[in-house]
A = this chain, B = another copy of it.
Amino acid sequence: MGGTIAIRVAVAGASGYMGAELLRLLLVHPRVTLTGVTSERLAGEPLGSVYPHLRGLTDLVFHDLDAEWLAGACDVAFLALPHMESQKMVPVLRKRGRKVIDLSADYRLHDAADYTTWYKTAHVDPAGLAEAVYGLPELHRKAIAAASLVASPGCYAAGAILATAPLLKNGLGRLEGIVIDGKSGVSGAGAQGRKVDPMYLFTEANENVQAYAIGAHRHTAEMEQELSALAGERVRVSFTPHLLPLTRGLFTTASVPLATPLGTAELLNVYREFYAGESFVRVLGEGERPTTRAVVGSNYCDLTVVADPRTGRAVCVSALDNLGKGGSANGVQNLNVLFGWHERAGLEAPPVYP
């Protein structure tokens, strides 16, 4: 790294899988030094004893979740906190001049009324909410670069938005009748050591599939916010999330009615143009299939689109790692954008296959 000065980064809420993935990435990021980690449950415990995979890689010890301490410990804070906790921390951190990359759902919706509708409670930091930038670099790179508060997308939202954005941006999709099916690995929920729902037990989740939160999943609001902005008109989507028996991976199948009849090759050209120059979105060729296997452990989102002339629809499919482009790795990409570094810094390692 020569003469460069490393940025001090802390992770609040590092006891969940999203936080653990941040640690894995930040410990070897060439431009940063990990200077603090917090967890109310684990305060006082060394990172290496809580996370056996990190044994020997760091001397850090979990600290209580204390906003003032956190502000002192870092230049940038990643928040991997449960819903409702981030909005208590952010005002303190911002008052102290710290930049924040929030991986929780707290700052993703621009409209406080929308927030209340979906989260059934008023937001405690509406000022922050109004200023936060939705942290999908493929859509908001410039705004992220200038932001002090970045709200990294939900995993389902990232998969759905990336899969359909080119259609809606270009007026190719009709705005009624979009149906999105999300399929997630189990690491999207729960956390090592935290009290968990029995549905996340191996014996319950293994060899099992189920839909949940039908018509009611909160990531729907993010999808509609971002797709509406792209379309320039209000878009509603019917979204159904599913829990699958895999640890990591998120697959999205979006069915979009086409405004004009287009073939697969034409649609693919639209996608290639839309994502030209993007480091982490790979548009596959006709006949190639996105798989979660090909992106696991990385920040990639692999996607493709297929025209279905029988029904006048486009089927848009994307594969990403829910802890990668659907979470922590995307958060690191936001960090890179925020500091003007190469977007691949710390994200160079290829996906882990098999």
Contacts and interface: CB of A to CB of B under 8 A. Distances in A.
A153 to B, nearest CB: 20
Given A55-B282, A209-B249, A236-B311, A353 B20 contact: yes
A5 interface: no
A290 interface: yes
Interface stretch (A6-14, A75-83, A97-105, A184-192): A184-192
Given A215-B310, A310-B236, A53 B196 contact: no
Interface centre among A187, A215, A257 (most CB of B within 10 A): A215
Nearest to A52: B294
A208 B310 contact: no
Number of copies: 4
A253 B242 contact: yes
Contacts of A51: 353
Interface string A283-323: 01000111111111110001000111011010101010000
A219 interface: no
A255 interface: yes
Contacts of A156: none
How big is the A interface, by class? 35 or more
26 contacts: A24-B352, A53-B296, A53-B351, A54-B350, A177-B177, A179-B313, A202-B202, A202-B204, A204-B293, A204-B354, A207-B296, A208-B291, A209-B251, A210-B251, A210-B289, A210-B291, A210-B293, A211-B289, A215-B306, A215-B307, A236-B311, A237-B311, A238-B308, A238-B311, A240-B317, A349-B349
Given A177-B177, A207-B292, A210-B291, 15 more contacts: A17-B354, A24-B352, A52-B293, A57-B350, A181-B181, A181-B253, A183-B183, A186-B202, A200-B201, A202-B202, A203-B247, A203-B354, A206-B206, A210-B319, A211-B289
